[in-house]
Amino acid sequence: MHVVPVIFVLQADTWYSPSDTGKRPAKRLRNLDADPRVTILVDVYDEDWSRVWWVRMRGIGLAVEGGAEHERAYRLLREKYLQFTAVPGDGAAGPTMAVAIQEWSGWAYSP
């Protein structure tokens, strides 16, 4: 198991998270070779419990390098995060973790 905070974008039932370029792929991408099953947990905690919620997604992940899906992921990242406007869209950016979501579950506080 590998637990790590990440930035991400979601398009329909596909979840994307970028990784850095470097000599070795990020550990989360290397782990996909051994086991492509992925669980993603997004949560919001607040002292005001009426604002607390979480969503869990389970799916199959793969590392995407180059091509149309890689470009789509970085276009979405540039739309969501101002910092990504400087990341090249020509495939020079690092690989992306793409997860095809197969199962969704969640919870939100209700009195």
Q: What is the pLDDT of residue 58?
A: 97
Dihedral sign of CA atoms 87, 92, 95, 99 in order: positive
| pLDDT at residue 90, rounded to an integer | 55
Kindly list the domain boundaries of the chain, sorted by start residue.
9-103
Does residue 18 surpass a pLDDT of 60?
yes
The percentage of the chain sitting over the pLDDT mark of 90, rounded to a whole number, equals: 53
Please tell me which of 3-7, 21-25, 56-60 the model is most confident about, judged by mean pLDDT: 56-60
pLDDT of residue 13: 95
The arrangement of secondary structure in 9-103, i.e. its CATH architecture, is Roll (2.30)
User: Which amino acid, one-letter code, is at 63?
Assistant: A
Question: Going by DSSP bridges, is the β-strand pair 37-44/96-108 parallel, antiparallel, or unpaired?
Answer: unpaired
